[in-house]
Every structure is written in structure tokens, then in C-alpha cells.
């Protein structure tokens, strides 16, 4: 069988909302944390969290939780200076819900995250000559749990929370590219796949700092926004406005053929 030749490229994936469904884990932990620190007065809805994330700077869910707590109390005429929230306590409570209370084993919401892609999809990319890796705002332990334990990947290229500043700072994206390009002389096109405005802003910032290569942002609709067509459409429009070249309902629809098409049709394309 003759193997098809596709445009060489690097595809880098966000993890939360792309590789795994976090609506019942990370986002549930955000809601739990905000509810706890507002003494049960306010529990943010999924739409509340999406609206915050659409601002493009709240990729870190601990910081997002703190911000939602602050904003609630501001509606109650209390200033941030008055509150003096304990960020360490917020992180600890969040982690007790997401990871669980056992410091040596994951027992929390993380254990029940549905997977959004299968290893066979990544094998298709490899067979097509497309390198791939991961850049995520998740902690390394959480990211490795899904990549290595759940998906069975062996030491995948991963830049996690501890390795780089939070998105939309593109430092971590550049670091992932360097690892994947190790030993490759040509400058390959980069496709970054994410589910938030911050992910698309990261691609835009990377492009502004390195215009010598092709950068393509691909949006993916997280499962929790696909409950209604109106919500899906609104979320898609938000990602496109933030710079996504295309928005897909599932990451596995980003086939080698689709990658070739996106890279070749990019205004920056060097092919």
C-alpha cells in the first residue's frame, strides 16, 4: 500500500477540554471552591465560568476560582483589599476536590474524566509524518495521569504548569516546539489545538514574536458547550474571534488531511 505524503507539520495539543473532558472535574472543582469560599452564597454555572475564560487570561483554574470569589464579593460591595483571600487555602481546597484528599493517590474528580481522543488517532499523525506533543496549563502530575496512565503514552513531549508561564504567554508553546523540532533543521509549521480564548491568544502572541514560520490555531468545542446548537455556535464564534482558523466538535476530526489543508492555506504558509 502506497503511503500518502502530507505536509510536514507539528501539532501541539492542549489537554483540558481537548484530550479529556473536564466539565465534571476541573470545572466542577472551580464551582465547589467558589461556593465554599462564598459560604454557599454563590455557585458559578458552567456559563459563568465560560464567560470568565472568554476574557483570555484565566487559564489557571486556581486563579479563576479566586477571581470568581472576588467578583462575587464585589457585587456585595466588598473590596478586594477588605477580603484578603488566602490563595494557598483556595488552591488546597480546589486540589482536595480535583485530586482528592490522599496525597499519594488520585481519588478525586480527576479519576472520572472521559477521554476525548484515542491513542490510535495519535498513531495516525505519526504515520503521516506529523510530530505531536502537549502544552497544558495543568500540573505535570495531572497531565501525566491522563497521558501516560489513561492513554498509555510513553514519555510524550509535555510542557506543563510547572515548566512555563501561564497562557496566553507563548513561552511554553515555544518550548514544546523546540523539543519536537530537536534534530530537525527545517522550520515546520505549527498547529496548536485548544478549547479556550487563552489558547488562541497564545498562538497569536507566538506569531507576533516569530513571524518566520506558519502558526495555526485550531479550536475544539469542549463537551459541556455542545448541549445546544446555540451554545455551540456562540462558543465557536468566540474562538474564531480570538484567532481560531477552524473550530471542531472533537479533536480527532483534525485529520492529517485537514492539517495539510490548514497549513497550506495559511497566509503565513511557506509551502
For the segment 185-210, what is each residue's pLDDT rounded down to a tens digit? 788 999 999 999 999 999 999 999 99
Q: Do the beta carbons of residue 218 and residue 196 sit within 8 Å?
A: no
Q: Reply yes or no on whether the pLDDT at 6 is more than 50.
A: no
Q: Reply yes or no on whether the pLDDT at 103 is more than 90.
A: no
C-alpha separations of 227 from 122, 220, 231 in Å: 27, 14, 7
For 57, phi then psi, to 5°, come to -125, 5
Q: Outline where the chain has alpha helix (H).
A: 26-37, 46-53, 61-75, 80-83, 87-98, 119-127, 140-144, 171-181, 197-209, 229-241, 256-265
Q: At what angle do helices 256-265 and 119-127 cross, to 10 degrees?
A: 60
Q: How confident is the model at residue 268 (pLDDT cuts 50, 70, 90)?
A: low
Percent of the chain at pLDDT > 70 equals 96
Residue 235 three-state SS:
helix
Task: Look up the pTM and report it.
Answer: 0.90
Q: What is the pLDDT of residue 196?
A: 96
For 29, the grid coordinates are 472543582
Q: Reply yes or no on whether the pLDDT at 98 is more than 90.
A: yes
C-alpha separations of 103 from 60, 98, 131 in Å: 21, 12, 35
Mean pLDDT, residues 149-174 taken together:
97
Q: What is the pLDDT of residue 8?
A: 83
Q: Do the beta carbons of residue 168 and residue 205 sit within 8 Å?
A: yes
Q: What is the pLDDT of residue 185?
A: 77
Residue 12 three-state SS:
strand
Instruction: Give the whole-angstrom CA distance, residue 173 versus residue 160.
Output: 10
Angle at 40 (CA atoms; ends 35, 44), nearest 5 degrees: 40
pLDDT, one tens digit per residue, over 27-83 is 999 999 999 999 999 999 999 999 999 999 999 999 999 999 999 999 999 999 999
Mean pLDDT, residues 155-180 taken together:
97
Q: Do the beta carbons of residue 222 and residue 17 sit within 8 Å?
A: yes
Please say whether the dihedral angle defined by the alpha carbons of residues 78, 84, 90 and 93, taken in this order, is positive or negative.
negative
Q: What is the pLDDT of residue 65?
A: 98
Amino acid at each position: 500500500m502506497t503511503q500518502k505524503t502530507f505536509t510536514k507539520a507539528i501539532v501541539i495539543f492542549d489537554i483540558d477540554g481537548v484530550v479529556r473532558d473536564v466539565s465534571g472535574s476541573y470545572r466542577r472543582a472551580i464551582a465547589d471552591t467558589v461556593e465554599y469560599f462564598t459560604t454557599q452564597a454563590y455557585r458559578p454555572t458552567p456559563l459563568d465560568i465560560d464567560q470568565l475564560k472568554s476574557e483570555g487570561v484565566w487559564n489557571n483554574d486556581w486563579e479563576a476560582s479566586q477571581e470568581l470569589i472576588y467578583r462575587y464579593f464585589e457585587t456585595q460591595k466588598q473590596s478586594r483589599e477588605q477580603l484578603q483571600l488566602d490563595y494557598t487555602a483556595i488552591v488546597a481546597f480546589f486540589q482536595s476536590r480535583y485530586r482528592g484528599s490522599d496525597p499519594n493517590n488520585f481519588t478525586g474528580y480527576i479519576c472520572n474524566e472521559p477521554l476525548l481522543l484515542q491513542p490510535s488517532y495519535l498513531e495516525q499523525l505519526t504515520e503521516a509524518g506529523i510530530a505531536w506533543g502537549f502544552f497544558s496549563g495543568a500540573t505535570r502530575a495531572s497531565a501525566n495521569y491522563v497521558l501516560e496512565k489513561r492513554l498509555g503514552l510513553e514519555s510524550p513531549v509535555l510542557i506543563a504548569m510547572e515548566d512555563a508561564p501561564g497562557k496566553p504567554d507563548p513561552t511554553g508553546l515555544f518550548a514544546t516546539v523546540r523539543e519536537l523540532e530537536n534534530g530537525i533543521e527545517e522550520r515546520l509549521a505549527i498547529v496548536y489545538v485548544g478549547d479556550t480564548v487563552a489558547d488562541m491568544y497564545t498562538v497569536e502572541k507566538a506569531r507576533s514574536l516569530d513571524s518566520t514560520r506558519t502558526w495555526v490555531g485550531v479550536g475544539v468545542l469542549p463537551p459541556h458547550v455542545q448541549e445546544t446548537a446555540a451554545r455551540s455556535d456562540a462558543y465557536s464564534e468566540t474562538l474564531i474571534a480570538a484567532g481560531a482558523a477552524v473550530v471542531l466538535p472533537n479533536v480527532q476530526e483534525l485529520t492529517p488531511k485537514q492539517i495539510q489543508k490548514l497549513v497550506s492555506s495559511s497566509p503565513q504558509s511557506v509551502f
